[in-house]
Chains A and B, each alone.
Chain A
Amino acid sequence: MKIVRTITIENPLGLHARPAAIFVQAASRFSSEIHVVRGDIRVSGKSIMGIMMLAAEQGAEIVVEIEGDDAEECIEALSAVLSADLEKDGQ
Protein backbone atom coordinates (compact mmCIF):
# COMPACT_ATOMS: atom_id res chain seq x y z
CA MET A 1 0.00 0.00 0.00
CA LYS A 2 1.18 3.49 -0.74
CA ILE A 3 0.54 6.62 1.30
CA VAL A 4 1.55 10.16 0.35
CA ARG A 5 1.10 12.97 2.84
CA THR A 6 2.15 16.61 2.81
CA ILE A 7 3.40 17.88 6.14
CA THR A 8 4.36 21.42 7.12
CA ILE A 9 7.43 21.85 9.31
CA GLU A 10 6.50 23.57 12.56
CA ASN A 11 9.80 23.36 14.39
CA PRO A 12 11.10 26.95 14.71
CA LEU A 13 14.65 25.86 13.86
CA GLY A 14 13.53 23.73 10.93
CA LEU A 15 14.45 20.10 10.31
CA HIS A 16 18.03 20.31 11.60
CA ALA A 17 20.31 17.49 12.77
CA ARG A 18 18.49 16.53 15.95
CA PRO A 19 14.95 16.36 14.62
CA ALA A 20 16.29 14.75 11.44
CA ALA A 21 17.84 12.00 13.58
CA ILE A 22 14.59 11.48 15.49
CA PHE A 23 12.66 11.27 12.22
CA VAL A 24 15.11 8.81 10.70
CA GLN A 25 15.16 6.64 13.82
CA ALA A 26 11.37 6.48 13.78
CA ALA A 27 11.38 5.73 10.05
CA SER A 28 13.97 2.96 10.40
CA ARG A 29 11.65 0.97 12.66
CA PHE A 30 9.37 0.26 9.69
CA SER A 31 9.97 -2.07 6.81
CA SER A 32 8.19 0.22 4.30
CA GLU A 33 10.11 2.20 1.71
CA ILE A 34 10.07 5.82 2.86
CA HIS A 35 10.90 8.86 0.76
CA VAL A 36 10.73 12.51 1.64
CA VAL A 37 10.32 15.08 -1.11
CA ARG A 38 10.91 18.77 -1.01
CA GLY A 39 10.68 20.66 -4.28
CA ASP A 40 12.63 18.69 -6.84
CA ILE A 41 14.70 16.76 -4.29
CA ARG A 42 13.58 13.29 -3.22
CA VAL A 43 15.59 11.50 -0.54
CA SER A 44 15.33 8.35 1.55
CA GLY A 45 13.43 8.87 4.79
CA LYS A 46 15.87 6.52 6.50
CA SER A 47 18.91 8.68 5.77
CA ILE A 48 19.95 11.44 8.15
CA MET A 49 22.12 13.08 5.52
CA GLY A 50 19.25 12.95 3.05
CA ILE A 51 16.79 14.59 5.44
CA MET A 52 19.35 17.24 6.37
CA MET A 53 19.99 17.96 2.71
CA LEU A 54 16.37 19.05 2.29
CA ALA A 55 17.14 22.04 4.56
CA ALA A 56 13.43 22.22 5.42
CA GLU A 57 12.96 25.39 7.45
CA GLN A 58 9.95 26.28 9.57
CA GLY A 59 6.90 26.60 7.34
CA ALA A 60 8.39 24.44 4.57
CA GLU A 61 6.16 21.76 3.13
CA ILE A 62 7.56 18.28 2.74
CA VAL A 63 5.89 15.31 1.15
CA VAL A 64 6.30 11.95 2.89
CA GLU A 65 5.83 8.95 0.58
CA ILE A 66 5.52 5.53 2.16
CA GLU A 67 5.16 2.24 0.39
CA GLY A 68 4.92 -1.10 2.13
CA ASP A 69 2.91 -3.33 4.45
CA ASP A 70 3.25 -1.13 7.52
CA ALA A 71 2.68 2.14 5.64
CA GLU A 72 -0.37 3.10 7.68
CA GLU A 73 1.29 2.74 11.08
CA CYS A 74 4.38 4.38 9.66
CA ILE A 75 2.67 7.56 8.42
CA GLU A 76 0.98 7.96 11.81
CA ALA A 77 4.28 7.55 13.64
CA LEU A 78 6.13 9.94 11.36
CA SER A 79 3.38 12.58 11.44
CA ALA A 80 3.41 12.38 15.22
CA VAL A 81 7.19 12.74 15.25
CA LEU A 82 7.08 15.78 12.98
CA SER A 83 4.28 17.51 14.87
CA ALA A 84 5.78 16.82 18.31
CA ASP A 85 8.08 19.35 19.86
CA LEU A 86 11.22 17.81 18.44
CA GLU A 87 13.47 20.39 20.04
CA LYS A 88 12.45 19.28 23.51
CA ASP A 89 12.33 15.57 22.74
CA GLY A 90 15.74 15.68 21.20
CA GLN A 91 17.49 16.90 24.30
Chain B
Amino acid sequence: MPIKELNVQKLVDDNKEVLQLEWSAGRSGALRVISSNDVYRPGLALSGYVESFPFDRVQIVSMTEFSYLDSLSEEECRKAITRMFSYDIPVLIFANGTRPNDFIIPHADERNIPVLCSPQTSTVVTHLLSEYLDDWFAPTTVIHGTLVDVYGVGLLFTGKSGVGKSEIALDLVERGHRLVADDVVTLTRTARGVLNGAGNELLTHHMEIRGIGIIDIQGVFGIQCIRLRKRVEVEVILKHWDEVGEVDRLGMEERIIEIMGVNIPQVILPIVPGKNITVLAETIALNHLMKISGLNAAQSLNEKLLDRMERKVQARQKLGEDYE
Protein backbone atom coordinates (compact mmCIF):
# COMPACT_ATOMS: atom_id res chain seq x y z
CA MET B 1 0.00 0.00 0.00
CA PRO B 2 1.46 3.41 -0.91
CA ILE B 3 2.23 5.61 2.04
CA LYS B 4 0.26 8.84 2.27
CA GLU B 5 2.36 11.86 1.55
CA LEU B 6 3.05 14.38 4.28
CA ASN B 7 4.33 17.79 3.34
CA VAL B 8 5.59 20.60 5.57
CA GLN B 9 2.50 22.76 5.09
CA LYS B 10 0.29 19.92 6.32
CA LEU B 11 2.54 19.39 9.34
CA VAL B 12 2.32 23.11 10.14
CA ASP B 13 -1.47 23.20 9.72
CA ASP B 14 -2.02 20.12 11.89
CA ASN B 15 0.28 21.30 14.69
CA LYS B 16 -0.28 25.04 14.53
CA GLU B 17 -2.21 25.20 17.76
CA VAL B 18 -0.30 22.83 20.02
CA LEU B 19 3.15 23.88 18.89
CA GLN B 20 2.31 27.48 17.91
CA LEU B 21 4.44 27.03 14.81
CA GLU B 22 5.36 30.13 12.86
CA TRP B 23 7.04 30.42 9.51
CA SER B 24 10.41 32.07 9.64
CA ALA B 25 11.96 31.34 6.25
CA GLY B 26 11.88 29.02 3.26
CA ARG B 27 8.14 29.26 2.64
CA SER B 28 8.74 28.30 -0.96
CA GLY B 29 9.61 24.82 0.32
CA ALA B 30 6.20 24.38 1.97
CA LEU B 31 5.45 21.38 -0.23
CA ARG B 32 8.61 19.51 0.72
CA VAL B 33 7.75 15.93 1.59
CA ILE B 34 8.54 14.49 5.01
CA SER B 35 9.29 10.81 4.59
CA SER B 36 10.52 9.76 8.02
CA ASN B 37 8.62 9.45 11.29
CA ASP B 38 11.74 10.28 13.30
CA VAL B 39 12.98 13.65 14.46
CA TYR B 40 16.63 14.65 14.86
CA ARG B 41 18.67 17.20 16.83
CA PRO B 42 21.33 18.24 14.32
CA GLY B 43 23.97 19.35 16.82
CA LEU B 44 26.65 17.05 15.43
CA ALA B 45 25.89 18.00 11.85
CA LEU B 46 26.23 21.69 12.75
CA SER B 47 29.56 21.07 14.44
CA GLY B 48 30.84 19.42 11.29
CA TYR B 49 30.27 15.70 11.75
CA VAL B 50 27.98 14.89 8.84
CA GLU B 51 28.83 11.23 8.40
CA SER B 52 25.52 9.34 8.54
CA PHE B 53 23.62 12.58 9.14
CA PRO B 54 19.91 11.59 8.98
CA PHE B 55 19.05 14.70 7.01
CA ASP B 56 15.69 13.36 5.79
CA ARG B 57 14.16 13.74 9.26
CA VAL B 58 12.46 16.72 10.82
CA GLN B 59 15.35 18.69 12.38
CA ILE B 60 14.83 20.34 15.76
CA VAL B 61 17.20 23.04 16.96
CA SER B 62 17.08 24.49 20.46
CA MET B 63 19.15 26.29 23.09
CA THR B 64 22.22 24.02 22.84
CA GLU B 65 22.58 24.29 19.07
CA PHE B 66 21.66 27.95 19.25
CA SER B 67 24.32 28.84 21.81
CA TYR B 68 26.84 26.75 19.85
CA LEU B 69 26.16 28.80 16.71
CA ASP B 70 26.38 31.93 18.83
CA SER B 71 29.83 30.94 20.08
CA LEU B 72 31.19 30.66 16.53
CA SER B 73 32.86 33.40 14.58
CA GLU B 74 30.90 34.82 11.68
CA GLU B 75 32.91 32.82 9.19
CA GLU B 76 32.59 29.54 11.11
CA CYS B 77 28.88 30.06 11.59
CA ARG B 78 28.37 30.67 7.88
CA LYS B 79 30.35 27.52 7.12
CA ALA B 80 28.36 25.39 9.59
CA ILE B 81 25.07 26.53 8.14
CA THR B 82 26.13 26.17 4.52
CA ARG B 83 27.29 22.63 5.32
CA MET B 84 24.01 21.67 6.94
CA PHE B 85 21.88 23.28 4.25
CA SER B 86 23.79 21.44 1.53
CA TYR B 87 21.60 18.49 2.54
CA ASP B 88 17.99 18.31 1.48
CA ILE B 89 16.50 18.59 4.93
CA PRO B 90 12.69 18.65 4.89
CA VAL B 91 12.21 21.20 7.68
CA LEU B 92 14.17 22.88 10.44
CA ILE B 93 12.34 23.86 13.62
CA PHE B 94 13.68 26.33 16.19
CA ALA B 95 12.21 25.40 19.58
CA ASN B 96 12.21 27.17 22.93
CA GLY B 97 11.55 30.58 21.41
CA THR B 98 14.91 30.64 19.63
CA ARG B 99 15.05 32.35 16.26
CA PRO B 100 17.21 31.67 13.21
CA ASN B 101 20.05 34.16 12.85
CA ASP B 102 20.70 36.41 9.89
CA PHE B 103 22.71 33.81 7.98
CA ILE B 104 20.08 31.17 8.17
CA ILE B 105 17.10 33.08 6.80
CA PRO B 106 18.51 34.06 3.36
CA HIS B 107 20.17 30.66 3.07
CA ALA B 108 16.96 28.81 3.81
CA ASP B 109 15.05 31.01 1.37
CA GLU B 110 17.61 30.36 -1.31
CA ARG B 111 17.60 26.58 -0.76
CA ASN B 112 13.81 26.44 -0.26
CA ILE B 113 14.23 24.77 3.09
CA PRO B 114 11.35 25.57 5.46
CA VAL B 115 12.38 27.07 8.80
CA LEU B 116 9.78 27.24 11.58
CA CYS B 117 9.78 28.62 15.11
CA SER B 118 7.97 27.38 18.20
CA PRO B 119 7.89 28.88 21.69
CA GLN B 120 7.50 25.37 23.15
CA THR B 121 10.52 23.63 24.68
CA SER B 122 12.46 21.19 22.53
CA THR B 123 11.23 18.30 24.72
CA VAL B 124 7.62 19.21 24.03
CA VAL B 125 8.25 19.77 20.32
CA THR B 126 10.13 16.46 20.01
CA HIS B 127 7.51 14.56 21.96
CA LEU B 128 4.46 15.97 20.20
CA LEU B 129 5.96 15.79 16.74
CA SER B 130 7.12 12.20 17.24
CA GLU B 131 3.60 11.28 18.31
CA TYR B 132 2.09 13.10 15.34
CA LEU B 133 4.53 11.53 12.88
CA ASP B 134 4.00 8.05 14.36
CA ASP B 135 0.27 8.47 13.88
CA TRP B 136 0.73 9.71 10.36
CA PHE B 137 3.07 6.94 9.27
CA ALA B 138 1.19 4.19 11.14
CA PRO B 139 0.31 1.37 8.74
CA THR B 140 -3.36 1.30 7.74
CA THR B 141 -5.55 -1.13 5.89
CA VAL B 142 -9.22 -1.28 4.97
CA ILE B 143 -11.09 -4.46 5.76
CA HIS B 144 -14.59 -5.82 5.22
CA GLY B 145 -16.17 -6.13 8.66
CA THR B 146 -18.12 -4.38 11.38
CA LEU B 147 -16.66 -2.89 14.54
CA VAL B 148 -18.80 -2.40 17.64
CA ASP B 149 -17.86 -1.31 21.15
CA VAL B 150 -19.60 -3.85 23.40
CA TYR B 151 -19.20 -3.08 27.12
CA GLY B 152 -16.01 -1.23 26.21
CA VAL B 153 -14.57 -4.17 24.28
CA GLY B 154 -13.92 -3.65 20.57
CA LEU B 155 -15.52 -6.59 18.76
CA LEU B 156 -14.63 -6.87 15.09
CA PHE B 157 -17.23 -8.96 13.26
CA THR B 158 -16.07 -10.54 10.03
CA GLY B 159 -17.52 -13.14 7.72
CA LYS B 160 -18.91 -13.51 4.27
CA SER B 161 -21.16 -10.94 2.69
CA GLY B 162 -24.76 -11.50 3.77
CA VAL B 163 -23.92 -13.55 6.88
CA GLY B 164 -25.56 -10.89 9.08
CA LYS B 165 -22.81 -8.64 10.41
CA SER B 166 -24.84 -5.47 10.05
CA GLU B 167 -27.93 -7.04 11.61
CA ILE B 168 -25.95 -8.08 14.68
CA ALA B 169 -24.46 -4.60 14.93
CA LEU B 170 -27.94 -3.11 14.68
CA ASP B 171 -29.19 -5.38 17.44
CA LEU B 172 -26.21 -4.47 19.62
CA VAL B 173 -26.77 -0.76 19.02
CA GLU B 174 -30.41 -1.21 19.96
CA ARG B 175 -29.25 -2.69 23.28
CA GLY B 176 -27.12 0.37 24.00
CA HIS B 177 -23.74 -0.60 22.54
CA ARG B 178 -21.82 1.69 20.26
CA LEU B 179 -21.20 1.31 16.55
CA VAL B 180 -17.77 2.31 15.28
CA ALA B 181 -18.00 1.28 11.63
CA ASP B 182 -20.16 -0.99 9.55
CA ASP B 183 -19.05 -2.95 6.52
CA VAL B 184 -15.84 -1.01 5.92
CA VAL B 185 -13.35 -0.64 8.77
CA THR B 186 -10.07 1.22 8.51
CA LEU B 187 -7.49 -0.45 10.76
CA THR B 188 -4.39 1.36 11.98
CA ARG B 189 -1.50 -0.12 13.94
CA THR B 190 -0.11 2.46 16.31
CA ALA B 191 3.56 2.72 17.28
CA ARG B 192 2.72 0.98 20.55
CA GLY B 193 1.40 -2.04 18.66
CA VAL B 194 -2.28 -1.36 19.29
CA LEU B 195 -4.81 -2.04 16.56
CA ASN B 196 -7.35 0.76 16.17
CA GLY B 197 -10.43 0.68 13.97
CA ALA B 198 -12.39 3.61 12.60
CA GLY B 199 -15.07 4.29 10.04
CA ASN B 200 -14.83 6.20 6.83
CA GLU B 201 -15.57 9.93 7.06
CA LEU B 202 -17.98 9.73 4.13
CA LEU B 203 -19.96 6.75 5.38
CA THR B 204 -19.98 7.95 9.04
CA HIS B 205 -22.12 5.44 10.89
CA HIS B 206 -24.43 4.66 8.01
CA MET B 207 -25.45 1.08 7.62
CA GLU B 208 -27.00 -0.99 4.87
CA ILE B 209 -29.61 -3.43 6.09
CA ARG B 210 -30.95 -5.81 3.48
CA GLY B 211 -34.63 -5.16 2.93
CA ILE B 212 -34.57 -1.73 4.56
CA GLY B 213 -31.77 0.08 2.76
CA ILE B 214 -29.31 2.61 4.07
CA ILE B 215 -29.95 3.93 7.57
CA ASP B 216 -28.18 6.58 9.63
CA ILE B 217 -27.43 5.06 13.03
CA GLN B 218 -26.70 8.35 14.77
CA GLY B 219 -29.88 9.87 13.35
CA VAL B 220 -32.07 6.95 14.36
CA PHE B 221 -30.53 5.83 17.67
CA GLY B 222 -28.74 8.95 18.87
CA ILE B 223 -25.22 10.08 19.62
CA GLN B 224 -24.81 7.62 22.50
CA CYS B 225 -24.83 4.76 20.01
CA ILE B 226 -21.82 5.74 18.01
CA ARG B 227 -18.11 5.93 18.57
CA LEU B 228 -15.47 7.38 16.24
CA ARG B 229 -12.69 4.91 16.88
CA LYS B 230 -12.00 1.93 19.05
CA ARG B 231 -9.22 -0.47 19.81
CA VAL B 232 -9.90 -3.84 18.17
CA GLU B 233 -9.78 -6.46 20.93
CA VAL B 234 -11.52 -9.61 19.69
CA GLU B 235 -12.30 -10.78 16.17
CA VAL B 236 -15.62 -12.60 15.90
CA ILE B 237 -15.94 -14.60 12.70
CA LEU B 238 -19.53 -15.34 11.77
CA LYS B 239 -19.91 -18.57 9.84
CA HIS B 240 -22.78 -20.67 8.64
CA TRP B 241 -23.12 -23.72 10.88
CA ASP B 242 -22.40 -26.20 8.08
CA GLU B 243 -19.15 -24.44 7.18
CA VAL B 244 -17.73 -24.44 10.65
CA GLY B 245 -16.79 -28.07 11.29
CA GLU B 246 -15.33 -28.50 14.76
CA VAL B 247 -15.98 -25.61 17.11
CA ASP B 248 -14.26 -24.81 20.38
CA ARG B 249 -16.41 -26.30 23.14
CA LEU B 250 -14.27 -25.28 26.10
CA GLY B 251 -12.57 -21.97 25.47
CA MET B 252 -9.63 -23.03 27.63
CA GLU B 253 -7.05 -21.77 25.21
CA GLU B 254 -7.56 -18.62 23.28
CA ARG B 255 -7.25 -18.85 19.54
CA ILE B 256 -4.92 -16.02 18.56
CA ILE B 257 -4.58 -14.58 15.10
CA GLU B 258 -2.42 -11.83 13.73
CA ILE B 259 -3.87 -8.71 12.13
CA MET B 260 -1.24 -6.28 10.85
CA GLY B 261 1.29 -7.82 13.18
CA VAL B 262 -0.92 -7.44 16.27
CA ASN B 263 -2.09 -10.54 18.12
CA ILE B 264 -5.86 -10.62 18.59
CA PRO B 265 -8.01 -13.37 20.13
CA GLN B 266 -10.42 -14.84 17.62
CA VAL B 267 -13.77 -16.50 18.18
CA ILE B 268 -15.61 -18.45 15.49
CA LEU B 269 -19.33 -18.15 15.99
CA PRO B 270 -21.57 -20.57 14.08
CA ILE B 271 -24.77 -18.98 12.82
CA VAL B 272 -27.87 -21.12 13.28
CA PRO B 273 -31.46 -19.94 12.85
CA GLY B 274 -33.01 -19.10 16.19
CA LYS B 275 -29.71 -18.50 17.95
CA ASN B 276 -29.40 -15.17 19.70
CA ILE B 277 -26.10 -13.97 18.33
CA THR B 278 -26.37 -10.61 20.07
CA VAL B 279 -26.36 -12.16 23.52
CA LEU B 280 -23.48 -14.37 22.44
CA ALA B 281 -21.58 -11.29 21.27
CA GLU B 282 -22.18 -9.60 24.63
CA THR B 283 -20.96 -12.74 26.36
CA ILE B 284 -17.81 -12.80 24.25
CA ALA B 285 -17.11 -9.21 25.31
CA LEU B 286 -17.74 -9.90 29.01
CA ASN B 287 -15.71 -13.10 28.89
CA HIS B 288 -12.85 -11.15 27.34
CA LEU B 289 -13.05 -8.66 30.22
CA MET B 290 -12.93 -11.58 32.67
CA LYS B 291 -9.93 -13.06 30.89
CA ILE B 292 -7.94 -9.84 30.89
CA SER B 293 -8.62 -9.49 34.59
CA GLY B 294 -7.14 -12.97 35.01
CA LEU B 295 -10.26 -15.09 35.25
CA ASN B 296 -10.81 -17.91 32.80
CA ALA B 297 -14.08 -19.70 33.56
CA ALA B 298 -13.12 -22.87 31.69
CA GLN B 299 -9.72 -23.05 33.36
CA SER B 300 -10.98 -22.41 36.87
CA LEU B 301 -13.78 -24.93 36.47
CA ASN B 302 -11.25 -27.44 35.22
CA GLU B 303 -8.99 -26.72 38.19
CA LYS B 304 -11.88 -27.42 40.54
CA LEU B 305 -12.58 -30.64 38.69
CA LEU B 306 -8.93 -31.77 38.85
CA ASP B 307 -8.79 -30.92 42.53
CA ARG B 308 -11.95 -32.89 43.26
CA MET B 309 -10.62 -35.93 41.39
CA GLU B 310 -7.26 -35.75 43.11
CA ARG B 311 -8.88 -35.68 46.54
CA LYS B 312 -10.97 -38.71 45.58
CA VAL B 313 -7.85 -40.62 44.58
CA GLN B 314 -6.11 -39.65 47.81
CA ALA B 315 -9.11 -40.77 49.85
CA ARG B 316 -9.28 -44.05 47.99
CA GLN B 317 -5.56 -44.69 48.50
CA LYS B 318 -5.85 -43.98 52.19
CA LEU B 319 -8.87 -46.24 52.61
CA GLY B 320 -7.33 -48.93 50.43
CA GLU B 321 -4.16 -49.04 52.53
CA ASP B 322 -5.90 -48.88 55.85
CA TYR B 323 -6.31 -52.59 56.53
CA GLU B 324 -7.82 -53.74 59.79
Contact = CB atoms under 8 A, between A and B. Distances in A.
Contacts of B206: 49
Interface in A1-60: 17, 28, 39-44, 46-50, 52-53, 55
B144 interface: yes
Contacts of A50: 144, 183-184
A17 B183 CA distance: 15
A48 B200 CA distance: 13
Contacts of A39: 2
A48 B182 CA distance: 11
A52 B203 contact: yes
Q: How large is the interface on A (under 10, 10 to 19, 20 to 34, 35 or more residues)?
A: 10 to 19
Interface in A32-91: 39-44, 46-50, 52-53, 55
A49 B203 contact: yes
Contact of B142 (A28, A43, A52): A43
A28 B207 CA distance: 18
A47 B184 contact: yes
A39 B142 CA distance: 12
Given A28-B161, A53-B203, A44 B2 contact: no
B161 A44 contact: yes
B162 interface: yes
Nearest to B141: A42
Given A47-B161, A48-B214, A49-B208, A40 B1 contact: yes
Contact of B161 (A46, A53, A55): A46
Contacts of A44: 144, 161, 183
Q: How large is the interface on B (under 10, 10 to 19, 20 to 34, 35 or more residues)?
A: 10 to 19
B202 A53 contact: yes
B1 A47 contact: no
B45 to A, nearest CB: 34
A46 B183 CA distance: 10
Contacts of B202: 52-53, 55
A20 to B, nearest CB: 10
A49 B146 CA distance: 11
A48 B184 contact: no
Given A28-B162, A53-B203, A43 B144 contact: yes
A34 B57 CA distance: 40
Contact of B200 (A28, A42, A53): A53
Contacts of B183: 44, 47-50
Nearest to B161: A46
Contacts of A40: 1-2
Contacts of B200: 53
Interface string B46-57: 000000000000
Interface string B86-118: 000000000000000000000000000000000
B208 to A, nearest CB: 5
A49 B203 CA distance: 7
A16 to B, nearest CB: 11
Interface of A: 17, 28, 39-44, 46-50, 52-53, 55
Interface of B: 1-2, 142, 144, 161-162, 182-184, 200, 202-203, 206-208, 214
Given A52-B203, A53-B200, 15 more contacts: A17-B214, A28-B161, A41-B142, A43-B144, A43-B184, A44-B144, A46-B162, A47-B144, A47-B161, A48-B183, A49-B207, A49-B214, A50-B183, A50-B184, A55-B202
21 contacts: A39-B2, A41-B142, A42-B142, A43-B184, A44-B144, A44-B161, A46-B161, A47-B144, A47-B183, A48-B208, A48-B214, A49-B182, A49-B203, A49-B207, A49-B214, A50-B144, A50-B184, A52-B203, A53-B200, A53-B202, A53-B203
